[in-house]
């Protein structure tokens, strides 16, 4: 799935027959198969100005109740929930 503020697009690759398999996951996983297709699709969407596909950032919701700025968290923050400013000096998470 890929999204911009005014467009959501999903690309699915696969086979209906469960017996169909790739020899390795290298070629069958999404980054190798679906991502290049999505990139070509989005490039063509952006090139067609009549579609008016947004290139803007998402608006931050005014009622957001969770922290979303990863820069505020330590790299070694094992619980992933405690912002840097809330970690007491000398305490390791």
Read off the pLDDT of residues 48-87 as tens digits, 9 standing for 90 and up.
999 999 999 998 888 888 877 777 766 665 555 555 555 5
Taking the model in full, what pTM does it have?
0.60
Measured CA to CA, the distance from residue 90 to residue 74 in angstroms comes to 13
pLDDT of residue 35 exceeding 70, the answer is: yes
Measured CA to CA, the distance from residue 2 to residue 45 in angstroms comes to 13
pLDDT of residue 93 exceeding 50, the answer is: no
What ranges do the domains of the chain cover? 1-58, 60-93
Q: How many CA atoms lie within 13 A of 15 on its CB side?
A: 7
């Amino acid at each position: 799935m890929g999204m911009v503020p005014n467009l959501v697009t999903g690309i699915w690759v696969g086979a209906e027959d469960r017996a169909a398999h790739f020899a390795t996951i290298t070629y069958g996983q999404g980054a190798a198969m679906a991502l290049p297709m999505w990139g070509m699709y989005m490039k063509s969407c952006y090139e067609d100005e009549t579609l008016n596909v947004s290139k803007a950032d998402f608006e931050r919701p005014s009622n957001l109740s969770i922290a979303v700025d990863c820069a505020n968290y330590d790299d070694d923050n094992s619980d992933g929930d405690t912002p840097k400013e809330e970690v007491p000096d000398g305490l390791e998470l």
